[in-house]
């Protein structure tokens, strides 16, 4: 679940690698590019004026090709790398400008990192690895052990607590890495391509696992990936990077439907849109008939005005309870009958707004528009078969 409280706010972040960042910074501010700055000064522009806000409880994916600056960006968030310029607010505290002592506290309590190669200590047991961050925080042994076991339970590995990491498969080792980050109760997780080293099938399992955990834990996660499929699958928002810049920030649906430029278009060209787009992105807002409130005459007029063949009926709570077709409604008006309950068809197709289009194709067998409802089951509008086909590019 996300809300709109900023948890991480990055403003005008610049990172220049090398001995002479000031000269390079000046060139950058004068309009220099990564290439021209490198040529003139030998300094590498790692991050080029990036501003990003990640809200509390959000899973934000930073996506881009190798060398685009993803790791640099995420490592600035816990100051494994010191920014050259700019601000990084975690809960409104500018960690770009706190001292090393305070930064250590933040790393131990607020921000945890999960690395691509797991980063497990090979001679420590699984449980000891998970306890590591807690030990650093000076938490006593019994408490550590307890927390470690309960966190291993969360990732489904409690029976492996006393084994060495080498006894575990890659996927399981990465779960240990995840458990270690979760055990500290950090509110922010930084994950730098955590699943890239895993086989494709295991990787998919881990993505599902992460989504499942996130539903329970509501962490604020910055997840790095060079894989657009992974990004679209797990990201609430995705920031696409290129040459140290952020090219576009958007939801998966926004990237697919409104790519900012050819760079983004190239990424998404082979994406199965039906798997990414949801009913909410193409829902048509129509005014339903409210049972025991609206007149049949008014309803018919509305159908005619909007050229609709069907009209949904909602109850007093806003929930769809039936659907009327035009001939039936016409007949009712002629007979001056307001008995909608008897006239409407109560078996109709219905989906949540979050349903992806791929799972809607089979709902059109009755030839009815599908009713879309929000999380509370309230009517949000309709999706016609032609809307689905048009949105995935098949007319
Ligand atoms: N320690 C470093 N010194 C000099 N250049 C670096 C250093 N680390 C990264 N870079 C350069 O910064 C750019 C961004 O790197 P990085 O953030 O690792 O990208 P990504 O994670 O997207 O692959 C690359 O051009 C890389 O070569
Ligand atoms: Mg990287």
Total residues found in the chain within this entry? 395
21 within ligand 1 shell (Cβ under 6 A): no
Name the pairing type of β-strands 289-290 and 93-94: unpaired
46 within ligand 1 shell (Cβ under 6 A): yes
pLDDT number for residue 138: 86
61 phi, psi to nearest 5 deg = -100, 130
For the chain, list the domains and their CATH numbers: 6-110+188-271 (3.40.50.300), 123-185 (no CATH), 280-391 (3.10.580.10)
In testing the pocket of ligand 1, which one of 21, 46, 71, 226 has its CB within 8 Å of the most ligand atoms? 46
- DSSP conformational letter for 68: S
- How many CB atoms neighbour CB 255 within 10 A? 26
pLDDT number for residue 171: 87
- DSSP conformational letter for 128: H
pLDDT number for residue 262: 95
Which residues are found with C-beta within 5 Å of the ion, ligand 2?
71
**Whole-angstrom distance, CA of residue 361 vs CA of residue 359:** 6
17 within ligand 1 shell (Cβ under 6 A): yes
What's the maximum distance between 2 C-alpha atoms anywhere in the chain? 87
Ligand nearest to the CA of 67: 1
**Helix pair 296-305, 326-334: axis angle to 10 deg:** 140
- pTM of the predicted model as reported, rounded to 2 decimal places: 0.86
**Whole-angstrom distance, CA of residue 53 vs CA of residue 90:** 10
Decide if 352 contacts 343 (C-beta within 8 A).
no
> Token pair for residue 100?
């090393």
Burial class (CB in 10 A: 0-12, 13-18, 19+), 354: exposed
Ligand nearest to the CA of 191: 2
Q: Which residues of the chain have pLDDT under 50?
A: 1-2, 395
43 within ligand 1 shell (Cβ under 6 A): no
**Whole-angstrom distance, CA of residue 185 vs CA of residue 144:** 12
Helices (H), the chain: 21-29, 34-41, 70-77, 100-109, 126-136, 141-154, 170-183, 200-217, 228-234, 252-257, 262-268, 273-276, 279-282, 296-305, 326-334, 340-343, 385-391
pLDDT number for residue 108: 85
**Whole-angstrom distance, CA of residue 51 vs CA of residue 186:** 23
DSSP codes, 18-51: SS-HHHHHHHHHTT--HHHHHHHHS-EEEEEEEE
- Which amino acid residue places its CA nearest to atom 18 of ligand 1? 71
DSSP codes, 270-326: T--HHHH-BHHHHPBP-PPEETTTS-HHHHHHHHHHTT-SEEEEE-TTS-EEEEEEH
Q: What atom in ligand 1 is closest to the CA of residue 224?
A: 21
Q: What atom in ligand 1 is closest to the CA of residue 65?
A: 22
pLDDT number for residue 395: 47
- Which amino acid residue places its CA nearest to atom 1 of ligand 1? 17
In 3-state terms, what secondary structure has residue 183?
helix
Ligand nearest to the CA of 69: 1
Interacting residues of 334 by C-beta distance below 8 A, sequence separation 6+: none
Decide if 222 contacts 77 (C-beta within 8 A).
yes
215 phi, psi to nearest 5 deg = -60, -35
Name the pairing type of β-strands 350-352 and 289-290: unpaired
CA-based angle 8:12:17, to the nearest 5? 105
Ligand nearest to the CA of 16: 1
> Token pair for residue 202?
């295991």
The rounded Å distance from CA 150 to ligand 2 centre is 31
- Which amino acid residue places its CA nearest to atom 27 of ligand 1? 67
The rounded Å distance from CA 69 to ligand 1 centre is 6
């Amino acid at each position: 679940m996300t809300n709109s409280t900023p948890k991480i706010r990055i403003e005008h972040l610049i990172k220049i690698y090398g001995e002479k960042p000031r000269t390079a910074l000046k060139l950058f501010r004068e309009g220099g590019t990564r290439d021209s700055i490198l040529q003139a000064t030998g300094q590498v522009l790692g991050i080029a004026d990036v501003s990003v806000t990640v809200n509390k409880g959000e899973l934000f994916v930073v996506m881009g090709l190798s060398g685009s600056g993803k790791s640099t960006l995420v490592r600035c968030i816990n100051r494994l790398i010191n920014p050259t310029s700019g601000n990084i607010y975690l809960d409104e505290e500018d960690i770009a400008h706190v001292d090393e002592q305070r930064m250590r506290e933040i790393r131990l309590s607020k921000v945890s990192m999960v690395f691509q190669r797991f980063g497990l200590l090979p001679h420590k047991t699984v449980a000891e690895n998970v306890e590591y961050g807690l030990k650093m925080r000076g938490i006593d042994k019994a408490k550590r052990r307890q927390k470690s076991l309960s966190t291993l339970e969360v990732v489904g590995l409690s029976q492996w607590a006393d084994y060495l990491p080498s006894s575990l498969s890659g996927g399981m080792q990465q779960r240990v890495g995840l458990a270690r980050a979760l055990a500290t109760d950090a509110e922010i997780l930084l994950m730098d391509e955590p699943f890239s080293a895993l086989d494709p099938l295991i990787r998919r399992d881990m993505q599902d696992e992460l989504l499942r955990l996130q539903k329970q834990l509501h962490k604020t996660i910055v997840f790095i990936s060079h894989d657009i499929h992974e990004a679209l699958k797990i990201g609430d928002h995705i920031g696409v990077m290129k040459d140290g810049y952020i090219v576009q920030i958007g939801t998966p649906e926004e990237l697919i439907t409104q790519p900012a430029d050819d760079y983004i278009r190239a990424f998404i060209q082979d994406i199965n849109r039906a798997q990414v787009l949801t009913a909410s992105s193409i829902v048509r807002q129509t005014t339903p008939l409210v049972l025991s409130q609206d007149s049949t005459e008014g309803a018919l007029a509305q159908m005619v005005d909007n050229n609709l063949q069907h009209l949904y009926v909602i109850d007093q709570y806003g929930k769809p309870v039936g659907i009327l077709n035009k001939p039936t409604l016409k007949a009712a008006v002629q007979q001056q009958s307001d008995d909608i309950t008897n006239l409407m068809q109560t078996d109709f197709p219905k989906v949540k707004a979050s349903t992806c289009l791929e799972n809607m194709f089979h709902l059109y067998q009755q030839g009815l528009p599908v009713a879309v409802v929000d999380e509370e089951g309230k009517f949000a509008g309709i999706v016609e078969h032609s809307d689905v086909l048009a949105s995935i590019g098949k007319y």
